[in-house]
Structure formats: C-alpha cells, structure tokens
C-alpha cells in the first residue's frame, strides 16, 4: 500500500481552497492589505469614548479584521495540512502567525479602554444606538472578565506573545506530522505496510493481529524515541498556560480556562468523578471484547480489532447515511450537508503522502466550513465524517444567523454538535438494518467513538490537570514522570482486564496535540454527554426538541455555552447527562455481548 503524492490526488477529492483565494498570490495581496488596515487601528486609541458611533466603528473594524486574519490563517492551514512537507505553506503559516500577533497587539488597548467607559454609560449608548445594541452580550462578557483584564500596555505585550508562544504548537505539529519516522508494520508473511499519521487508524482496525501489533508498537516507539523532545514541548506549553493564568490573576490554569467560557468548576469535577464511578462499565467492556475475539489476553492494539466483517462504505454512501440520520432536523439541514459534501467540496477526502493526522472542521465568515480527514471506506470513516459535519453545520448555521462578533462558538459547545450527528446517524443505521453482523459493526463504531471521547479523553483530562498542578507547584515535568502518570491512569481504566506495555501506553500524551490547547480534552466528554441527551429528546419525539436544537446551532457565540445548552434542553452544570450517557454506553455493551454470544 503506497500513498499517492499530493499532486496525484484527484481534484474533485480535494477541498475547495480556490473558493477562499484563487491563487497564493491572492492570499499574499490580502495579507498586505490587512497589514494596511492595522495602520487604521492606530487612529483609535484614546478615542473609543468620543461617541457611540466611534465605538461602533471600532467594533465593526476590529471584528471584520479578525475575520480577515482568520481567512488568511484558514488558507495557510489548508495548504499545510494536506502536505506538511510543503515549505511554501510553512512560510505562509509563519507569516500569518506573525500577523495574528500584530493584530492582537494593535487592538490590545481596546478592552481596557472600553472598560474605563463603565457599564452604565455603555448601557445608555446601547439603548440609543442600534449599531451598539447587538454588542450587549459582548459587553456583558467583557465586564465579567474585567478583573482579569490588564492595562493596555500589558495587553499589548500579551498580544505580541501570541506568535512566539504559538511556535511550541507549530513545532509539535511539524515533529508529529512531518519529521517523526515510523518503522513499517508487517503482516504475518513479512509484507511491509507504511505507518503514518494518515494510515495508523486503518492499520489499527485491521483483522490481522500481527499488523495491529507491529503498527501499535512501531507507532508508539516513534514517540518514545523522541520522548524527551515531546516532553519539553508539552512542558513549555503547560508553563505558558500557568504563566498566562498568573499574569491575569487566576488561581490556576484550570480556573483561567473555565472562566474564559463561564464554565463552573463543578462541570469539570462532576465529569471526572462520574467517570471514575463508572469505570466498571469499561472493565466489563474489555471482558466482552476479549471473549468476542476469542483471546486469552486483551491488549491495547485489540481495541479496534473488528468483531465481524466490516462493511465497505464509499464516501457517497456515507453522505447518504448521514443525511438519512439527520432527516429529523429538516430538509434545509440535510440539503446543506449533501451540497457541501457532493458539490461544493467542503471535504478533503482521502489520505496522501505528507497529510497530517486527524480530522477537523474549519472556516470563517464568508467561506465554506471545510472538513479535513482521511476517508478509508469504513464505518469509522463515516462516523468521522458525521462528526466533522456536525461542527461544519454548527458553523454554517451560526454564520447564517449571527454577526461576525458572535460567529464563533466555544469549544465547550462545539463537541456537542459533532457527537450529536454521530448519535443520530448511528440510531438510524441500527433501526433500519437488522442484520446481526451489521448491528455488531455499528456498535463497534459506537464503542470506538466512546473509547476516544468517553475513555481516552477523560483520562487525558485527569492527566492534564495533574501536570498543570505539577507546574504550578514547581515540580519538574519530565518524560518519565509523565509516562508513569499516564500509565497509572490507564491502568485504573483497564481494571486488570488489559495486558499492556507500561511505556507504550504511558507515551499516549505525546500523541494528542489537543493538550496544547489548555483544558480542551474534557470538553469531548461533556460534549458527547450533552449530545446523547439531546439526541434522545429528538428520537423520542420530545416537544420542541428539534426547534430548540436548531436554535442552539444558530446561536453561535451569542450566549454563554451553559445557557445555550439549557436552551437546547440539557443542563451541563449538573452530572445527569454524563450519568445518562454511561447508561447508554452500558446498553451498547449489553447489546454487543448478546450479539457476539450468538
């Protein structure tokens, strides 16, 4: 199996980057134009309180400029993600990161200056001027964060730090996706199969246990070979989180992260506690999987081993199944999905040489919501597509209904829409195809998803909190210490049912770039919980469930995420949704045990 070079990928299978900028020259011209706009920003310091119109002019300018920078970043990302060896794309990314830092520094004066106008004055201006009225939530959030906002001079310095601080993530990405070598996997007949970020998921679900074993071992060994470099990068990122929290006056990096989106600490604690209380469900699943495979010992490279013949799913079939699953949301939603996937080229579909790992959805006001993935003609690939289409439709509807200032939603809300699409599609497939082998395959897809979002991510969340605590207490963040912690947390989750190599499991933290975005990973687990609660409401015909969910998707960032989800029909400040999702997980384990026992 040889991956094609990027140049050999069929045009129709690539995402529509030319809809963003027709050529790289167009991108460069826009970069220079935005630099020129930043000169306009210099006219505003000291004048935001001159009149309501001046303030409105400023807010429109700054948010429009931010969006233009995002579009520039999007295009550079599209170029670099599909070919991490592309030096021109790397140069573009460097340029736009510098521009981001300049933009942040140039606008850093504004929030302290707006805060100095005081809330009463702004409330009066909003009542009298429609241009300012739409910023009510923006101002509310600004004053909520007031005590953690520093002077204009300090905010300018923090803005300038964005570029050099961002280099740690860039370096991780280059090492992880471009420079990290992996020994090839081997079949029982000693045939070699390339191990790469874009192939590892497919290799780990191969029926051949020798392929899975060698893929797993060689993949992890690649990270272990560079364990000290990866540890240094993660330690630097963690220390940056701690630094920023201290500068702003937060007691901890976790508090800083949660406060940014107005998330109560109880949400994090409830998740971790509920997860720990329900670990026996995972222990039972390992036993069911081991028996279904007929093994004496279950190992981590058996987690994705197929329990039945996996259906071949083309990209077109995946789009059709997802569209059928999302029919309860209405024809407008489904039509947008079909057109985006099959006509407008939202998706960069298949793997190629140099393509980075993972999948994501990304866009801006004025662009399509693009999807990056490596489709492998499997149910799991269909699930990934459904997940990313959840993000994309969330963005699509938010941008349709909200101005630029509210076009972005928080990470906490983001993982709801993605997991919701998977839950709805899965329910459709289980309902409409009673064949036991197909049912097993769908449940395997479900368990693979739960494994990532409801087992690995909560474990990473526990790891992340502990590592940040170490940094806050001045404890050294070494590779061996982090490997030991990670292995201990996974051992607790395995409950003695899985035989594992300490270092191979312990290096898992190095494989997740999510850890470079502070306290991101826990939101996968809260997201999958809210998603299943909301999907249940729609599937059981709960009154107004569809309308409320569509309102949530259309709200963007105009509400705090806890409030937006309450509007949709779930209260994530309480642990019930997490508990209910563990009940759903347990039901899948029951169903799988019954089907495989037959």
| Structure-token pair, residue 253 | 């990096």
Burial 429-448, CB ≥16 within 10 A → b, else e: bbeeeeeeebbbbbbbbbbb
Angle, helices 522-539 vs 576-597, to 10°: value is 80
Strand order in the sheet with 360-362: 347-348, 370-372, 360-362
CA–CA dist 158, 111 (Å, integer): 13
| Structure-token pair, residue 199 | 């192939």
| Structure-token pair, residue 302 | 């058996």
| DSSP conformation class of 405 | G
Give the containing element (helix H, strand E) for 587. Answer: helix 576-597
Q: Chain-centre distance of CA 568, in angstroms? A: 21
Closest to 359 measured CA to CA, from 158, 200, 535: 200
Q: What does the DSSP assignment read for 412-468? A: HHHHHHHHHHHHHHHHHHHHH---HHHHHHHHHHHHHHHHIIIIIHHHHHHHHHHHH
Q: Chain-centre distance of CA 81, in angstroms? A: 15
| Structure-token pair, residue 575 | 């642990």
Of 388, 444, 464, 472, catalytic: 388
| Structure-token pair, residue 596 | 């495989």
Residue carrying the six token digits 């993660």? 234
CA–CA dist 331, 570 (Å, integer): 25
Closest to 78 measured CA to CA, from 98, 92, 99: 92
- What does DSSP say about strands 192-193 and 185-186: parallel, antiparallel, or unpaired? antiparallel
Angle, helices 119-128 vs 52-82, to 10°: value is 90
CA–CA dist 480, 310 (Å, integer): 38
3-state secondary structure 296-360: CCCCHHHCCCCCCCCCCCCHHHHHHHHHHHCHHHCHHHHHHHHHHHHCCCCEECCCCCCCCCCCE
388 is catalytic: yes
- Residue 323: C-alpha distances to residues 113, 247, 320, 494 (Å): 48, 47, 5, 36
CA–CA dist 376, 380 (Å, integer): 8
- Residue 305: C-alpha distances to residues 204, 212, 281, 298, 446 (Å): 7, 8, 19, 11, 14
Q: Which residues are catalytic?
A: 388
């Amino acid at each position: 199996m040889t991956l094609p070079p990027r140049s050999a990928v069929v045009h129709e299978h690539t995402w529509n980057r030319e809809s963003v900028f027709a050529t790289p020259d167009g991108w460069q011209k826009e970069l220079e134009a935005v630099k020129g706009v930043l000169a306009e920003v210099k006219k505003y310091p000291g004048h935001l309180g001159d009149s309501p119109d001046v303030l409105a002019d400023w807010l429109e300018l700054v948010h429009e400029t931010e969006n233009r920078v995002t579009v520039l970043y999007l295009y550079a990302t599209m170029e670099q993600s599909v070919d991490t060896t592309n030096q021109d794309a790397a140069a573009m990314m460097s340029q736009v990161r510098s521009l981001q830092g300049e933009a942040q520094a140039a606008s850093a004066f504004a929030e302290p200056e707006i805060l100095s106008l005081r809330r009463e004055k702004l409330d009066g201006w909003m009542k009298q001027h429609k241009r300012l009225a739409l910023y009510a939530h923006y101002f509310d959030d600004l004053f909520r964060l007031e005590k953690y906002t520093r002077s204009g001079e300090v905010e300018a310095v923090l803005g300038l730090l964005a570029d050099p601080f961002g280099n740690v993530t860039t370096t991780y990405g280059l090492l992880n996706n471009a420079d990290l070598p992996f020994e090839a996997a081997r079949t029982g007949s000693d045939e070699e199969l390339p191990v790469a970020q874009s192939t590892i998921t497919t290799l780990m679900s191969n029926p051949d246990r020798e392929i899975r074993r060698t893929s797993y071992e060689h993949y992890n060994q690649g990270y272990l070979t560079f364990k000290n470099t990866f540890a240094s990068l993660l330690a630097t990122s963690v220390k940056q989180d701690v630094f920023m929290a201290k500068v702003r006056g937060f007691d901890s990096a976790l508090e800083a992260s949660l406060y940014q989106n107005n998330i109560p600490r109880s949400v994090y604690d409830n998740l971790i506690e509920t997860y720990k209380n329900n670990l026996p469900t995972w222990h039972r699943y390992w036993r069911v999987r081991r028996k279904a495979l007929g093994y004496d010992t279950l190992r981590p490279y058996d987690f994705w081993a197929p329990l039945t013949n996996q259906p071949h799913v083309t990209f077109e079939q995946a789009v059709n199944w997802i569209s059928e699953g999302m029919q309860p949301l209405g024809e407008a939603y489904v039509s947008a999905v079909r057109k985006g996937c099959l006509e407008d080229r939202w998706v960069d579909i298949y793997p190629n040489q140099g393509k980075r790992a993972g999948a994501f959805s990304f866009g801006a006001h004025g662009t399509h919501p693009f999807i990056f993935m490596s489709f492998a003609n499997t149910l799991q690939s269909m699930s990934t597509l459904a997940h990313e289409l959840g993000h994309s439709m969330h963005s699509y509807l938010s941008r349709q209904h909200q101005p630029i200032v509210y076009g972005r939603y928080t990470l906490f809300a983001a993982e709801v829409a993605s997991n919701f699409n998977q839950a709805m599609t899965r329910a459709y497939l289980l309902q409409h195809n009673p064949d036991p082998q197909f049912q097993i395959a769908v449940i395997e897809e479900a368990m693979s998803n739960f494994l990532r979002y409801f087992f690995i991510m909560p474990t990473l969340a526990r790891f992340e909190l502990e590592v940040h605590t170490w940094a806050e207490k001045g404890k050294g963040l070494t590779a061996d210490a982090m490997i030991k912690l990670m292995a201990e947390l996974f051992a607790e989750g395995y409950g003695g049912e899985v035989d594992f190599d300490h270092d191979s499991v312990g290096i898992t933290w190095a494989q997740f770039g999510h850890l470079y975005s502070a306290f991101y990973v826990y939101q996968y687990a809260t997201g999958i919980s809210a998603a299943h609660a909301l999907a249940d409401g729609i599937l059981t015909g709960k009154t107004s469930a569809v309308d409320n969910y569509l309102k949530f998707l259309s709200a963007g960032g105009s509400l705090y995420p806890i409030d937006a989800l309450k509007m949709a029909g779930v209260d994530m400040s309480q642990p019930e949704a997490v508990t209910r999702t563990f009940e759903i997980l347990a039901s899948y384990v029951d169903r799988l045990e019954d089907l495989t026992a037959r």
